[in-house]
Amino acid sequence: MSFGFGPASEMNKTVQHLKRNKPNTLKKLGQLTNENNYTITDKKASQKQLNEIRKKVKKENQKALLKKILFFTLFLILLIYFIYF
């Protein structure tokens, strides 16, 4: 029962496309790869190493935040100076 024209033909195409085999995402979770097709392995770290990494990241984030705040305040001061004078 194939229709050769109009909306029925488009409906038939849609049904055929929906029947295609879809990749199983649950199977992919066990085989994680990046865009270069290298497999990603889980690295294990001790609690001490994790704490050191956490402290390092916090310190880097604080420095970045301080730079952003200083830049913003300097920009505001210059903006206010040029607007009012």
Q: Residue 67: inside a domain, yes or no?
A: yes
Entry pTM: 0.46
Distance of CA 55 to the CA centre of its chain: 24
Decide if 66 is inside a domain.
yes
Instruction: Give the number of domains in the chain.
Output: 1
Q: How many residues are given for the chain?
A: 85
Q: Which residues is 39 bridged to in the sheet?
A: 33
Is position 76 within any domain? yes
The verdict on residue 77 lying in a domain is yes
Residue 20 has pLDDT above 80, yes or no: no
Whether 1 is covered by a domain: the verdict is no
pLDDT band at 15 (very low <50, low <70, confident <90, very high): confident
Confidence grade of residue 49 (pLDDT, cut at 50, 70, 90) = very high
Whole-angstrom distance, CA of residue 5 vs CA of residue 14: 14
- Is 17 within a domain? no
- 34's CB contacts (< 8 A; 6+ apart) are 40
